[in-house]
Structure 1
Amino acid sequence: MDCASCARSIEKAVTSVEGVISANVVFSTEKLRVSANTDVSDKIQAAVKGIGFSLASLDKSAFKQGSNQTNSAQTISNQSTTSWFSRQQLTEYGPIVGLALLMLLSWGITQFNPVLGETAFIVTTLVGLVPIMKKSWRMIRSGSPFAIETLMSVAAVGALFIGATAEAAMVLLLFMIGECLESFAANRARKGVSALMALLPEEALIIKKGERQKIAIADLRPGDEIEVSPGERLPADAELLSEMASFDESALTGESVPVERLRDEKVPAGSLLADRVVRLKVVSQPGNNAIDRILHLIEEAEERRAPLERFLDKFSRIYTPVIMLISVLVILIPPLAFAQPWDTWIYRGLALLLIGCPCALVISTPAAITSGLAAATRRGALIKGGLALEQLGRIKTIAFDKTGTLTEGKPSVTDVVTFNGSEINHSLAVAASVEMGSHHPLAKAIVDYAEQQGVTLAHADNRKTLAGVGVEGNFAGKKISISAPSKLERALDNRIQQQVTNLEEEGKTVVVVLEEGELIALIALRDKLRDDAKAALKDLADLGIHGVMLTGDNARAAAAIAAELNTDYRASLLPEDKVTAVIELNQQQATAMVGDGINDAPAMKASTIGIAMGSGTDVALETADAALTHNRLQGLAEMIRLSRATNANIRQNITIALGLKVVFLVTTLSGITGLWLAVLADSGATALVTANALRLLRNKPSNKNN
């Protein structure tokens, strides 16, 4: 497939097959997905072959890339084998070479006998027309009457009719060369996806009952123990069973420095082991590892098309018939109304016809978006579709969750202040008893600190969470409550409140511990800022993007952290308050929400675009429109620069596509350019816009505020 219109032609052909409910071609990964109630695979093969394409059969190797086949939905991967590729080369380049040789022979004959040479050029044109007309007929039958092959066939036959035989043959040769250039450019655009697929090895070394054996990675199941040697890539997501190892995860995260992983840490599929032989436990289902999820997002991205792309798609369906109508009028009106020579205006009308193909216009947006999405993936950012990529470039405000986003999400206890005769160890024991089992960062920090102090831990009874307030439970027969100072039913006395204020002004979060309603301790905790948080906010400010921190923390602690980051803040927010804040910001200007927790998901959904940290919860990652897989905040500025570069690239591509057509439209009607240059207005423009889009893969987006 050379462009997105080829993909749509296949979809049309397959959808017309009896028994098919729906068909979808994923251009970037070359897959055809068909939903049907019965097995119609043979009919699908025939339909696709009927319009000049071929499908590889679905075998076990396809499952390596996470493809599934069920009764209701079949996935057919258009993968090529080595032997097929050599035949493809012959099919692709053979007609071009043959036509060029015939043209050279015809030109040679013309030097000695012009009349015979003219006949030779007619034969050459007819030979070149055969495969093009066959494909045109197939496309017409499949419901695509305005394909470029149809326009070329009409133009070439018309050129023969008016005696422009040499030019007719040259037009066909240029068209074939242009098609090859398009194919080359399209394959280059898909190269990044192919490279991602190649990260998974064919086999894995599994250890069962102390014995090693190699199995296909499709046969791996969660819980299997595997062994990986230095220089090999992981066949699945896995937890490290060895003490420590270094992994190169650059292909997935863009992080060039190898990452040190410790026992029980999760390592994504496709990571390259750097230093020693290790054992790991598989944790991902077949077809659901890190690589598969990225591929799925890329495929999903094509379905979530940008508004401009959808508009151009609709526009192109009207554009070609309109150009054909204008071409007919150009041929008929001057000779009939103004007694102009028929040959001249038939020639100009045919040249105009060649400008009518919308290939360059149709591919201008998806080519840039596909390249932009691939470039983002290389930099450790997953963007779910052209719509999200386009919107990122329009963001003017970014709202940040604090814990786990601007901070590391690993707070530690800094102070324990006791009251009413309670000892520190007793206060820690009762606090940890009601916090045990909680996934909240503050709860984990209190439990960890109690363990470090050698406190014996026991679970509290009747433990329950009080939404937006804290937790409570029964320990040693007494009711224990932990909450924020501001959530207490009765205010603290002035002396204790001053202690709370002093701690909060140091940027610490304070919780109060009550035993039977009596205050026994204040516990202060402090979270550490991410190493790149300050640099990330500065990068965003340089791009003209305003940052706002949204946190459930108290105002004084939030103010201390916000001052350190030089950003605005809103504090003491419940999850619903964050949603309200984001909606308010969004009404003023396009706002993105960056978070990592379940409680951030509603706010992310309310924003123009939600961005999840790679270390976040599954809910946050599912809700988000984009994710930073490498967990680096500075990736936000990179994403936005890339989005702006992609939007600029789209504008350039549309200008090239339409600009060339307008230029050739004027020069053709003026008689300055002829048929063969009109071909360049289509094939040349298509190759140009694709090549322009590929620049996004090579170049780092500019730091300019563009």
Structure 2
Amino acid sequence: MSAPVRQDKFRIEGMDCASCAQKIDTAVRRLGNKISDVTVSVTKGTMTVTHKGIEADAIMEQLKKLGYQSRYMGENQTPARPEPETEPHRCSGAHDHEHSHEGHDHGAQQHGLHVHATGKIKEAPVLHMHDHGEAEDGRPWWQQGKARLTMAAGAALMAAYIAGHFLPQYALYIFSAAMLVGLVPIARRALAGARFGTPFSIETLMTIAAIGALIIGAVEEAAMVVFLFLIGEMLEGVAARRARNSIRGLADLVPKTARAEENGRIVERDAADLAIGTIIQVRPGDRIAADGEVLSGNSAVNEAPVTGESTPKNKEAGDKVFAGTINSDAVLRVRVTATAQNNTIARIIAQVEEAQESKAPTERFIDRFSVWYTPAVMILAALVAIIPPLVAGSSWDEWIYKGLAILLIGCPCALVISTPAAIAAGLSSGARRGLLMKGGAVLESAGHVTAAAFDKTGTLTEGKPVVTDIIAFTHSEADILRFAAAVEQGSSHPLALAILKAAQTRNIALPQVHDGAALGGKGVTGTVEGKAVLLASPKAVAAKTTLTNSEKQRIAALNDQGKTVSLLMIGDELAGGIAMRDEPREDARQGIKTLQTQGIRTIMLTGDNRRTAEAIGRDLGMEVHAEMMPEDKRRIVDKLKTQKQIIAKIGDGINDAPALAAADLGIAIGGGTDVALETADAAIMHGRVTDVANMIALSRATMANIKQNITLAIGLKLVFLITTIAGITGLWPAILADTGATVLVTANAMRLLRWKP
């Protein structure tokens, strides 16, 4: 009987770039055919191995030979869908990155779910599958292995300069010893990489250059080069951890304890242990400890930590609240609807971590390019070192020195990290502002959008009608609203709710209604203050009384504005009417205007009647396609694509699946937290139309940052390549071309963490 398939997860210390992940992936796969898949996540600093019967100790020993310390995090008994690829290797599972929403099985995808490990290894602790610690092992950066090695190499170099000053005749040996302090660990990693399938690594280039410098007597420079290389690696690690922890800081928003109701009393409970259905009390000023539904209380809640929405929202019985948000005014009683492992904050963290591993097209190109780049650099360096002495009789020492410098200039770190650093920072920055994108490909494609197609109801509009006009024929506006609201009492129809809310807003006291009844498809009737009252459609009222031309014109004008009119009869007299419409969101006009300013064509695709849709379209200043079935919406999207338009389809994430699937970019908006997190390619958490433009602006800022990074990485290398061949610069400026570029590129990418709409 074959061994069962298992998934083991490991935390890896010191894995800070794409080339590290590639070496780890290659080495672990060489453990044998029992390994069926390896997924390495630079962003999370983790590795997941799917296998049949490989001991976790053997995997960790393989990593140790490669120069990486690791920690076992646990076993997932039922392997879930593999995480998206992080490096240029083929996974055993198929990864379909096309925009497909139909037949999307979210249950199988385990979006945002935290799987508890149940396996054991010796006495290793079984940990949560998402580890949100400060660093890989909880230590600050200066206590990490790379930092300790860098400080040791720096101390050795300083001691060498002091000793060399007093003992110049032994300077060669003194600086050689200082160089070996840093070079030996680098060389060991280079040898291990070559042994386990990665011969053309950054450590290989560094080792060859340092040994070559030692052979030609440039030991002082070689020692400095090794030290500068270690500084670059250390700074790269610090930056990687900063990016890695930027989104995980969201986890700190959730309080550690909650006030739970148990047997008639309040007890403190760990927030992580709250079960679904538990009732908790949230005092003013407290953070809400879990996702839930308000049972009682009325208070403003600051949702900025989760959605980025700056204005607190009023919450009352029946409303949803999110973990990590802040209660402002009064005590709320909340029934827990999601465990700590699956609350909004945890799912955002999981979503963004997963998204950061989905490569953008630019990143995939850089990865493919870097595979050929390093061997090409080694060949170029060899040609520079050999051809001039052989052909022109030049000095061997001079041209070998230049060849070694070219090896250092050619280190690919800055180029390889230029794109993923910016992508990770952009995704994290967006998530902190309520803009969720599922991967680098989505982040990149958003910036190329040329047309945005919106649903109307619930996307451009609030999704519920409001009273816009009160028509007074023979009675006052206050009386018309009072009588209309009276006969609508107890009704749950959207138009009735709009009338009742308007009366409540105006503080109108409602009289009692007697003999109230609904007239199917026509309206409602009843007796109010001893008078027969009818609130019905113009057609139903016209069957009971004659409408004058001016009354008909008034009603027609309102209908032309996309408004629904209900007429009110009191006794046998036409008293007036009430006009209602599903109004645009407060920010919709500004959002559409901003998109148009960005050069993006805006289109409304709706199944609503043409008159209403065109009225809303005129208000917002956008193109309208109305009375459309879902297949019609897809047809429009396909037609736009044949016109070379790059389409973003914005909707609630539930309806219009064909159009969402057909679009280049599907964005969920206004459909609730579950939809926002698990539907479409991207999601806008707080449902503002302006955030569509913000998402596009973030994408463009990220792509501009990537172009800057690539220009920095390649530009510095070209400059130092020319100056090296010309004899102007030598070994230590050459390593600065790589180390300096890596630091500049990473620092430039981190600027995106401060991006604001």
Once the two structures are superposed, the pairs formed by residues 275-674 of structure 1 within 5 Å of their partners are 275-412=329-466, 502-508=557-563, 525-588=580-643, 589-596=645-652, 598-616=654-672, 618=674, 622-674=678-730
- Give, in whole Å, the separation in 2 of the partners of 1:580 and 1:227: 50
Deviation at 1:231, TM superposition (A): 4.2
Q: 1:396 to 1:175 in 2, by over 3 A?
A: same
- Give, in whole Å, the separation in 2 of the partners of 1:524 and 1:580: 34
Match status 1:4 vs 2:18: yes
Question: What one-letter code is carried by the residue in structure 1 that aligns with 2:44?
Answer: T
Q: Which residue of 2 aligns with 1:47?
A: 62
Q: Conserved in 2, the CA contact under 8 Å of 1:363 and 1:690?
A: yes
- Give, in whole Å, the separation in 1 of the partners of 2:118 and 2:137: 30
Match status 1:690 vs 2:737: no
Q: 1:57 to 1:586 in 2, by over 3 A?
A: same
Q: 1:625 to 1:432 in 2, by over 3 A?
A: farther
Q: 1:575 to 1:678 in 2, by over 3 A?
A: same
Report Cα offsets for 1:199-232 as digits up to 9, x if no partner.
Answer: 2333433322224444444432211112334444
Match status 1:187 vs 2:225: no
Q: Which residue of 2 aligns with 1:476?
A: none
Using the size of structure 1 for normalisation, the TM-score is 0.82
Match status 1:237 vs 2:252: no
Match status 1:109 vs 2:139: no
Tell which deviates more after alignment, 255-264 or 381-390.
255-264
Report Cα offsets for 1:501-541 as digits up to 9, x if no partner.
Answer: 55531312589xxxxxxxxxx99751122111111111112
Q: 1:700 to 1:403 in 2, by over 3 A?
A: same
Q: Conserved in 2, the CA contact under 8 Å of 1:601 and 1:620?
A: no
- Give, in whole Å, the separation in 2 of the partners of 1:53 and 1:235: 37
Q: Which residue of 2 aligns with 1:158?
A: 212
Question: What one-letter code is carried by the residue in structure 2 that aligns with 1:55?
Answer: S
Q: 1:288 to 1:456 in 2, by over 3 A?
A: farther
Tell which deviates more after alignment, 15-24 or 258-267.
15-24
Once the two structures are superposed, the pairs formed by residues 143-154 of structure 1 within 5 Å of their partners are 143-154=197-208
SS of the residue corresponding to residue 529 of structure 1 reads coil
Q: Conserved in 2, the CA contact under 8 Å of 1:31 and 1:77?
A: no
Q: 1:115 to 1:600 in 2, by over 3 A?
A: same
Question: What one-letter code is carried by the residue in structure 2 that aligns with 1:697?
Answer: L
Unpaired runs of at least 5, structure 1: 418-426, 462-469, 471-481, 486-494, 512-521, 702-706
Question: What one-letter code is carried by the residue in structure 1 that aligns with 2:17?
Answer: C
Instruction: Return the match for 1:67 from 100, 110, 114.
Output: 114
Q: Which residue of 1 aligns with 2:252?
A: 198
SS of the residue corresponding to residue 296 of structure 2 reads coil
Q: Which residue of 2 aligns with 1:27?
A: 42
Q: 1:530 to 1:90 in 2, by over 3 A?
A: closer
Question: What one-letter code is carried by the residue in structure 2 that aligns with 1:30?
Answer: G
- Give, in whole Å, the separation in 2 of the partners of 1:210 and 1:53: 53
Q: Conserved in 2, the CA contact under 8 Å of 1:399 and 1:594?
A: yes
SS of the residue corresponding to residue 599 of structure 1 reads coil
SS of the residue corresponding to residue 247 of structure 1 reads strand
Match status 1:14 vs 2:61: no
Q: 1:609 to 1:82 in 2, by over 3 A?
A: closer
SS of the residue corresponding to residue 405 of structure 1 reads coil
Q: Conserved in 2, the CA contact under 8 Å of 1:614 and 1:621?
A: no
Deviation at 1:34, TM superposition (A): 3.0
Q: Conserved in 2, the CA contact under 8 Å of 1:56 and 1:76?
A: no
Q: Conserved in 2, the CA contact under 8 Å of 1:31 and 1:75?
A: no
Deviation at 1:190, TM superposition (A): 2.5
Report Cα offsets for 1:287-334 as digits up to 9, x if no partner.
Answer: 221112212221221343111110110100110011111112222222
Question: What one-letter code is carried by the residue in structure 2 that aligns with 1:604?
Answer: L
Q: Conserved in 2, the CA contact under 8 Å of 1:579 and 1:606?
A: yes
- Give, in whole Å, the separation in 1 of the partners of 2:426 and 2:514: 53
Deviation at 1:160, TM superposition (A): 0.4
- Give, in whole Å, the separation in 2 of the partners of 1:78 and 1:679: 34
SS of the residue corresponding to residue 649 of structure 2 reads strand
Q: Which residue of 2 aligns with 1:516?
A: none
SS of the residue corresponding to residue 153 of structure 2 reads helix
- Give, in whole Å, the separation in 2 of the partners of 1:699 and 1:660: 26
Q: 1:114 to 1:414 in 2, by over 3 A?
A: closer
Identity, % of aligned positions? 46
- Give, in whole Å, the separation in 1 of the partners of 2:673 and 2:149: 55
Q: 1:614 to 1:572 in 2, by over 3 A?
A: closer
Question: What one-letter code is carried by the residue in structure 2 that aligns with 1:33?
Answer: T
Using the size of structure 2 for normalisation, the TM-score is 0.77
Q: 1:497 to 1:276 in 2, by over 3 A?
A: closer
Q: Conserved in 1, the CA contact under 8 Å of 2:74 and 2:129?
A: no
Question: What one-letter code is carried by the residue in structure 1 that aligns with 2:748?
Answer: N
Question: What one-letter code is carried by the residue in structure 1 that aligns with 2:280?
Answer: I
Q: 1:348 to 1:212 in 2, by over 3 A?
A: same
Q: 1:327 to 1:500 in 2, by over 3 A?
A: same
Q: 1:667 to 1:456 in 2, by over 3 A?
A: farther
Question: What one-letter code is carried by the residue in structure 1 that aligns with 2:401?
Answer: Y
Deviation at 1:666, TM superposition (A): 1.6
Q: Conserved in 1, the CA contact under 8 Å of 2:676 and 2:683?
A: no
SS of the residue corresponding to residue 241 of structure 1 reads strand
Deviation at 1:457, TM superposition (A): 9.7
Q: 1:375 to 1:304 in 2, by over 3 A?
A: same
- Give, in whole Å, the separation in 1 of the partners of 2:552 and 2:27: 74
Once the two structures are superposed, the pairs formed by residues 208-247 of structure 1 within 5 Å of their partners are 208-247=262-301
Instruction: Return the match for 1:678 from 716, 734, 737.
Output: 734
Q: 1:442 to 1:656 in 2, by over 3 A?
A: farther
Q: 1:396 to 1:542 in 2, by over 3 A?
A: same
Deviation at 1:674, TM superposition (A): 0.9
Deviation at 1:595, TM superposition (A): 1.0
Deviation at 1:49, TM superposition (A): 3.0
Match status 1:700 vs 2:756: yes
SS of the residue corresponding to residue 310 of structure 1 reads helix
Q: CA RMSD in A?
A: 4.0
Instruction: Return the match for 1:127 from 181, 184, 190.
Output: 181
SS of the residue corresponding to residue 217 of structure 2 reads coil
Q: Conserved in 2, the CA contact under 8 Å of 1:597 and 1:616?
A: no
- Give, in whole Å, the separation in 1 of the partners of 2:339 and 2:73: 20
Report Cα offsets for 1:402-432 as digits up to 9, x if no partner.
Answer: 1111110012578999xxxxxxxxx99xx99
Q: Which residue of 2 aligns with 1:490?
A: none
Q: 1:638 to 1:242 in 2, by over 3 A?
A: same
